[in-house]
């Protein structure tokens, strides 16, 4: 558990150092991957596994939090 917390702290520091454009691009790409995965019928392997791996959710949360903190308008991921 401590390792996971350390990884999230590191990711939060990295996110804080990125530009608004980079954060919006990263968020958009994860949202595209989520949409592709969601278009695959249940029971078939997902291309990206966005919903299967908690890291994606943690990354999106960090990116969205940083964009909101900066006052940047963006569309939230549809979980």
Kindly tell me the sign of the dihedral angle through the C-alpha atoms of 5, 78, 65, 30: positive
Give the DSSP letter string of 3-62: HHHHHHHHHHHHHHHS-HHHHHHHHHHHHHHHHHHHHSPTTSPPSS-TTT-HHHHHHHHH
Q: Where are the domains of the chain?
A: 2-69
Q: Write out pLDDT tens, residues 13-55.
A: 999 999 999 999 999 999 999 999 999 999 999 999 999 988 8
pLDDT of amino acid 10: 84
Q: pTM of the prediction?
A: 0.84
CB contact set of 59 (below 8 Å; sequence gap of 6+)? 11, 26, 30
CA 51 – CA 30 distance, rounded (Å): 11
């Amino acid at each position: 558990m401590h390792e996971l917390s350390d990884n999230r702290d590191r990711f939060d520091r990295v996110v804080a150092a990125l530009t608004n454009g980079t954060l919006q691009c990263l968020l958009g790409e994860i949202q595209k991957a989520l949409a592709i995965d969601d278009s695959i019928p249940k029971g078939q392997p997902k291309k990206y596994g966005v919903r299967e791996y908690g890291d994606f959710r943690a990354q999106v949360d960090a990116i969205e939090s940083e964009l909101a903190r900066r006052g940047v308008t963006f569309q939230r991921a549809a979980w």
